[in-house]
Structure 1
Amino acid sequence: MTYAGVPGRREGHRLNHEERPATALTMNRTGILDMSNSRWYRTLILSCTAALAPLAATAQEAATTDTSILLEEIIVTATKRQQSVRDVSGSVSAVSGKQLEAIGAQSFADYIQRTPGVVFNEFQPGTSHVVIRGVATNSGNVQGQGTTGYYINEVPLTEPGWTIVIPDIDAFDVDRVEVMRGPQGSLFGSASMGGAVNYIANKADASKEDAALETTVSRTRNADIGWTGKAMLNMPLVEDKLAVRAVGTFRRDPGYLDNAGTGEKGSSDIDVGGGRLSVVWTPDDLTELSWLSLYQKTAADDAPYRNPTYGSFGRSSALPETNDTDVEIHSLRLDRDLGFATLTALGAYQKKNQGFVFDFTPYRAAYNADLGLNISNPLYVRSGGDSDGKSGELRLASNGGGAFEWLLGAMYFESDKYLYEQLGANGAAAAFDASPNYGPGKGAIIAPDGSIFNAFYTDLKGEESALFGEASYYLTPEIKFTAGGRLFKTEVTSTSTTIGFSTYPGNPLVERTQTKEDGFSPKLSLTYKPSDTLMVYGLYSEGFRFGTPNGSGLSAFPIPSGSKSDSLKNYEAGLRATLADGQLLLDATAFYVDWTDIQLRLLTPDNFNYAANGAAASIKGLEMSATWQATANLDIQSSVTYMKARLDEDLFILWYGTAPKGSRLAGSSDWSIANTAIYTFDVAYDPTVTVAHRYLSKGISDMNSAVPGIAVNGQGGYNLFDLRVGATFGTTTATVFANNITDKRGVTRTVPEANGLSQGLVRPRTYGVTLHWSM
């Protein structure tokens, strides 16, 4: 038994505020978009107009303001060029730094699920996955590369193999977070099959001095005091030429679980600390050279998930299940205006590390019996690894104006990864010496460090190279056709070593496997924009990811050599409308995803994990959002997603049975809703009240749960309500808040573990105060 495992915009089109979505599109005999006979389109427009006429009238009668936070115009780089989020022909949402501050966001959990089509499966630091449009078969790590791409200032962070550390960058002094829904294979490359998340950190500003401080003190039910300390300093070194910006952050999220096994109350404290450094040099008006360094460390003194048999706040393990992560990123970027186009060169280095401890003591009796041992100390598994990545991208993007726009680029990404899984117990070597099945002196061979008596190690090297491009042509001033794609090549080489009692008395088992793949990921879109206030588009796109090689290991059953990339095709139609003189923004997107040859993590009957392709699924959905400045003082934002992510054919799962056709995909929910209202009073100190709500319907955490007769590992099915009240005193803002007011035990993920079910939870009711000072 082993545990192997694991800039430019077109003239005459003003930039709008946020984003929009889709419709059914037809073409006339000239090839020009013709919607005059689209019954679906006419019905949608007439229905929206009738339903929103009273709201539009109210908004127009009310006094308006340019200080709306939710209506703030956000410029994004989702198409590898600067563009208003509302001009993007695709499903892109962005949350600005001001908006993050308004809702008190600290991490992923505070904002990512407010985005349409997104589910955040919170579990352990570094392994909490974002699932976009339901493209997942598990709410946690899979055998190979994930289906959501993660980027920081366009630096790719999702290497082949299961991801070491999913970044959860502190939201302090972040310019924005872009969430791209649907496959982004043409411009962003591997992993972004369901979509991608791109953090954009604030850059140094040579035009002014700036500084900010922030601290929060909070209290969570059944936990000690939590606190944060954050600081930013921006200093011009040469006026309008050279500047440096430094950010430091620390956050303690106190544990609220009681570990019956270790006897610790309020276990699972999580400390998150780190910083960023930005240096920007602009030697002339046409050139910008920027450096970004980022470091973040997370330390959890025990696992932050409960075992429900021990109560609402209970868990049990024979030893603390610690978890430590480190992320380090350094990047250098050059942007140079060449007149006809802008040249961008981006090079980056990243280093990530993660280490877990899992309690395996519930299996101790079985090991003692099978191996003739008498181990009395807790049994544990140490798991984790580290990765080093190097990436480079070079591209040219035409500057704005004219009927033809284009972008051409090349990229290379290389990752070296070391993974380990070790089974051990203190005193294991002596137990093997005393075993009648092994005898004196054998412990030093099987467990040379005295403790680890079975281990699996993997050295994995992955490479991705690609040529990519995109071109747009305005058929008329209102109609734009875009075509693009990515010609890619991926290669993964894996060397695995198994050592310990499972190979004794022979030599360690060493295997080398490799997968290679190449292909083309296309993108096509047609956009119709009859005015500055309405845009409709149709889009086709595809996604891909690295394949995963397998080693045969010690399994007595045949294992395939590896898996290849899945095939994922996305069809969507979107509509974006601006009403009531810019005070009401509407988005609607209808999409259909055809997903075949799905990469799966499977298990042999003798308990060996391996990767394979199989099964097919389809995902149908509708994403809708509205942002409305109802009065000069009141902003309202709402998003609703309905999505049906289901298997199109039976999925056979070894040891469990068959998940039948029509089963829900793991990590998805049929319904997700988010609402935010911000009211600012016209009195002294500008007091502001923010009310937020989120709802997520029920889902499952793994495909095993879809097998009839198998206990369901469920998640979702909860409503959350947050309240914030703030006021400004000069340059300082004070905010009192309460999160999860109704104190819901929302389950974010369920995993069967050695000591029973483990459930990730939304944080219990938390209240506190935040002080934010800026220069």
Structure 2
Amino acid sequence: MRCAPATGPLRGHASWQRRRPTPCCPPSLRRKGILPMQPFATSRLTRAIRFGCLCCALASATAGAQDSSQRNATELDTITVTASKRDESIREVAGSVSAVTGQQLEDLGAQGLADYIQRTPGVVFNSYQPGVSHVVIRGIATSAGNVQGQTTTGYFLNDVPLTEPGWTIVVPDVDAFDLNRVEVLRGPQGTLFGSASMGGAVNYIANVADAGAFDAAAEATVSQTRNADVGFGAKAMVNVPVKQDLLAFRAVAQYRDDPGYIDNLGTGKDGANTTQLAGGRFSVVLTPSQDTTLTWLSLLQNTDSDDNAYQIRGLGDLQRNTAIPEFTNTKVDVHSLRLDQNLGFADFTALLAYQKKQQDWRFDYTPIRSAYNADLDLDLTNPLYIDSGGESEGRSIELRLSNPSNGRFEWLLGGMFFDTEKDLYEAIGAQGAAAAFDNSSLYGPGAGAVIAPDGQIFNAFTSRTHGSEAALFGEASVWFNPQWKLTAGGRLFRTRIRTTSVQEGFSTYPGDPIVTPSSNEESGFNPKLSLSYTPNEQVMFYALASEGFRFGTPNTAGLSAYPVPAGSRSDELVNYELGTRTSWAGGSFLLDATLFYVDWKDIQLRLQTPDFYNYASNGGKAYSRGVELSAQWRPFAGFNWTGTATWQQAKLDEDLFILYYGTAPKGSQLPGSAEWSINNTLSYQFDGNFAPTVMLSHQFLSSGISDLNSAVPGIAPNTQGNYNLFDLRYRMSFGRTDVTVFGSNLTDKRGVTRTVPETNGIGEGIVRPRTVGVTVHWRY
């Protein structure tokens, strides 16, 4: 009697769901069910199914389960990721993927991106203002901050795209509480994830409702930062199965009050940069049958900062000086509905999402007031400010089919459409502006009511943008034998963006407002090719070539007195890499290494006029090359070491002329990058009562620059980086409650995370000063 080939799908690394057992199999298999699997047995089981029969697969699985009972306590756990839009062990991904699990986030005491993202290889976090601080992957950036067009790092929440075309209104920094994991995909991800992910992508995977059992957790933190008041945070989660294995909901609530640590001499406010975060998530999961799952997920998060978190170079420690507070307020709402349907021959996924993002900030422009008074014959005495921000709404739909991961041939086909509308504004104002124009000899009585109808705003720029991305994408893999796998994929895309800008105020008086339309439309094909070789369970090698793309950016008439070009188009970026994943000492030591080279041409640039207004343009070419290393080691039970090291050179590959500034020479470092990034985390759990655990972590980031203007000879560079950070945590467990005492930035280092020329001096974003505190975490 001969067994038929296995047909059941492999469901991630943790379970194998059988669909059609053959008659030659034991009676216990002639029904639907779930066979538990240990993570280490994934590859062996997968190959048994792919190249053998169902009975052979069962034998392999049984052997794996037997082996697991004898597993060494030092064997490291396996993480499941969705980098290829299907569940698979991270150890089997032929690409540069890292994942920070929910447990790791909890162990680190992570609140947001600043606490963990830079610990992954190839990543620099350029912290500056809440809600607009950027992740740069492999040095692919032209600024450490907001670019004029779409970012080079894509952000996603459970596969929902969060990065709209054009100037980014909010960089999503999702609170880390009750996240399942955060996946960091290095290198362009345009084939499966679309625009914006030229350098890589950050995919937040939030826990959703589980109808299997009731669950709950709560957390409270009290902290003290140098030069700040006492901070507080409270978070809670509850998971309720309304009906066992059928319907459940999950709710998460979060609030953080992070007191400011920078004193504003101009406003007289100590600890001016206080930030509050409030929000939560809600999910409902309905499983009407074993083959059908409906998931609703909502996220709401508001972040309000009373004043900017940068100090002014040349003033005292932790001091800045502005005439008014420079607040930043951001809001993010995301709602998605997902259908997962097992069709037998394939799995069908439909993902429908809506998002709304909003940002408002104020910038002190008072040092420029005298120039306006002289040029316009005004007598403004109140502080001058720029209000800026906007709102975007996005709707996306993605449909895809993928066959079970159990045969020699795997495929995935999909289509998506992403439509966004965005309103931006930028306005100059001051109290008493209308009266100042009435008293001006150049304008005269009655002019103020026309130029500044609200009494304050006297020049304004607004724009409305409509953008869309449509794409067909796919990926196919073939196993030549149990060792060799070839994967090819591609994305056929079309992007459109239309912008209408309106300028009004003194710059158009006495005429009508100036209305300027602009547009950009592009299409293309984004390919990907990889080859992997897995000689045994302990080693995998792979080679990968991939491309990325993003929206072009039309410029609109702004407030600058200097002319700017019409806009930019998508750049060209190709990534090549060789990588290996290895396991040693019975799975107690994992070592991964990647060698990469990125060729970047016709770069979309964020440039700035001498009067501090930004615009988009194309020009020049650059490269990024380097080595990324990551390791995990558990030599004996209770001890863990995790380390990463990245060496990279992200540089211009030819001279780049920057209008109004000069020429940045070939070989200049790209902004937002660092040549060296090193991270280490050591933890040890002692024997005895309360399971005391101590964790020591270290970060090093070498020096860099914050903008391309800094590369021009003769211009004082805006530098960042070149700092070490040390954190220490001590945890004790009392049943279901963990109490952790922690200290962050123990040496109180003033690490500069981004430098920006401001009207009142050189602004330096810095890492949070030394902070100590205690966290109590309770779980059901």
Q: Same fold (TM over 0.5)?
A: yes
* Identity between Structure 1 and Structure 2 (%): 61
Partner residue of 1:322? Answer: 327
Partner residue of 1:243? Answer: 248
Distance 1:552 1:420 in 2: 12
C-alpha change, 1:134 and 1:685, in structure 2 (3 Å) is same
TM-score, length-scaled by structure 2: 0.91
Paired residue secondary structure (1:187) = helix
C-alpha contact 1:18 1:93 (8 A) present in aligned 2: no
Counterparts of 1:87-98 in structure 2, within 5 Å, are 87-98=92-103
Query: Aligned-pair distance for 1:310?
Result: 1.8
Partner residue of 2:113? Answer: 108
**Match of residue 296, structure 2, among 291, 294, 317:** 291
Partner residue of 1:307? Answer: 312
Could you list the per-position Cα deviations for residues 609-639 of structure 1 after superposition, in whole angstroms to 9, with x for gaps in the alignment? 4322101001110000110002112100110
Partner residue of 1:540? Answer: 545
Distance 2:247 2:301 in 1: 26
Query: Aligned-pair distance for 1:402?
Result: 1.3
**Match of residue 495, structure 1, among 496, 500, 504:** 500
Distance 2:12 2:767 in 1: 44
Partner residue of 1:735? Answer: 740
C-alpha contact 1:492 1:514 (8 A) present in aligned 2: yes
User: Which stretch has the larger CA shift, 187-196 or 504-513?
Assistant: 504-513
Could you list the per-position Cα deviations for residues 533-589 of structure 1 after superposition, in whole angstroms to 9, with x for gaps in the alignment? 110000000000000112356878765432111000000000000110010000000
Distance 2:704 2:715 in 1: 15
Partner residue of 1:476? Answer: 481
Partner residue of 1:397? Answer: 402
C-alpha contact 2:148 2:166 (8 A) present in aligned 1: yes
Distance 2:748 2:399 in 1: 49
Query: Aligned-pair distance for 1:400?
Result: 1.8
Partner residue of 1:118? Answer: 123
Paired residue secondary structure (1:743) = coil
Q: Which amino acid aligns with 2:101?
A: S
Counterparts of 1:342-741 in structure 2, within 5 Å, are 342-551=347-556, 559-603=564-608, 609-741=614-746
Partner residue of 2:57? Answer: none
Partner residue of 1:53? Answer: none
C-alpha contact 2:190 2:198 (8 A) present in aligned 1: yes
Query: Aligned-pair distance for 1:73?
Result: 1.7
Distance 1:9 1:741 in 2: 44
C-alpha contact 1:10 1:402 (8 A) present in aligned 2: no
**Match of residue 73, structure 2, among 61, 65, 74:** 65
Distance 1:320 1:457 in 2: 23
C-alpha contact 2:461 2:559 (8 A) present in aligned 1: no
Counterparts of 1:17-28 in structure 2, within 5 Å, are none
Distance 2:593 2:276 in 1: 39
Paired residue secondary structure (1:365) = helix
Distance 1:649 1:390 in 2: 39
Query: Aligned-pair distance for 1:126?
Result: 1.2
C-alpha contact 1:17 1:86 (8 A) present in aligned 2: no
Distance 1:205 1:553 in 2: 50
Could you list the per-position Cα deviations for residues 269-297 of structure 1 after superposition, in whole angstroms to 9, with x for gaps in the alignment? 00011010010001111111000011000
Counterparts of 1:254-293 in structure 2, within 5 Å, are 254-293=259-298
Q: Which amino acid aligns with 2:596?
A: F
C-alpha change, 1:748 and 1:608, in structure 2 (3 Å) is closer
Partner residue of 2:65? Answer: none
Partner residue of 1:41? Answer: none
Paired residue secondary structure (1:443) = helix
Distance 2:441 2:682 in 1: 70
Q: Which amino acid aligns with 1:658?
A: T
Q: Which amino acid aligns with 2:408?
A: A
- The structure with higher relative contact order (CA 8 Å, sep 6+) is 1
**Match of residue 172, structure 2, among 167, 173, 191:** 167
Could you list the per-position Cα deviations for residues 202-227 of structure 1 after superposition, in whole angstroms to 9, with x for gaps in the alignment? 01011111110100000000000001
Paired residue secondary structure (2:673) = coil
TM-score, length-scaled by structure 1: 0.91
Could you list the per-position Cα deviations for residues 91-142 of structure 1 after superposition, in whole angstroms to 9, with x for gaps in the alignment? 0000110010011111100000000000000000111000000000100011
Query: Aligned-pair distance for 1:255?
Result: 0.2
C-alpha contact 1:745 1:761 (8 A) present in aligned 2: yes
C-alpha change, 1:380 and 1:230, in structure 2 (3 Å) is same
Q: How many residues align?
A: 724
Query: Aligned-pair distance for 1:259?
Result: 0.5
Distance 2:555 2:670 in 1: 24
Query: Aligned-pair distance for 1:15?
Result: 4.7
Distance 1:682 1:14 in 2: 26
User: Which stretch has the larger CA shift, 88-97 or 307-316?
Assistant: 307-316
Distance 1:225 1:233 in 2: 28
Q: Which amino acid aligns with 2:230?
A: I
C-alpha change, 1:356 and 1:509, in structure 2 (3 Å) is same
Could you list the per-position Cα deviations for residues 10-48 of structure 1 after superposition, in whole angstroms to 9, with x for gaps in the alignment? 9999855999xxxxxxxxxxxxxxxxxxxxxxxxxxxxx
Partner residue of 1:54? Answer: none
Distance 1:405 1:211 in 2: 38
C-alpha contact 1:76 1:82 (8 A) present in aligned 2: yes
Distance 2:610 2:302 in 1: 38
Paired residue secondary structure (1:141) = coil
Aligned-residue RMSD, C-alpha: 1.9
Paired residue secondary structure (2:523) = strand
Distance 1:630 1:63 in 2: 14
Q: Which amino acid aligns with 1:735?
A: T
Q: Which amino acid aligns with 1:65?
A: A
* Structure 2 gap segments, 5+ residues each: 1-8, 17-36, 44-69
Query: Aligned-pair distance for 1:63?
Result: 10
Could you list the per-position Cα deviations for residues 726-764 of structure 1 after superposition, in whole angstroms to 9, with x for gaps in the alignment? 010010000000000011000000000111111110000
Paired residue secondary structure (1:267) = coil
Could you list the per-position Cα deviations for residues 364-399 of structure 1 after superposition, in whole angstroms to 9, with x for gaps in the alignment? 111101100000000000000000000000000111
Paired residue secondary structure (1:211) = strand
C-alpha contact 1:16 1:86 (8 A) present in aligned 2: no
C-alpha change, 1:557 and 1:679, in structure 2 (3 Å) is closer
User: Which stretch has the larger CA shift, 92-101 or 559-568?
Assistant: 559-568
Partner residue of 1:29? Answer: none
C-alpha contact 1:328 1:352 (8 A) present in aligned 2: yes
Q: Which amino acid aligns with 1:749?
A: R
Query: Aligned-pair distance for 1:481?
Result: 0.4
Could you list the per-position Cα deviations for residues 576-607 of structure 1 after superposition, in whole angstroms to 9, with x for gaps in the alignment? 00110010000000000000000012345787
Partner residue of 2:185? Answer: 180
Q: Which amino acid aligns with 2:278?
A: G
Distance 1:722 1:514 in 2: 49
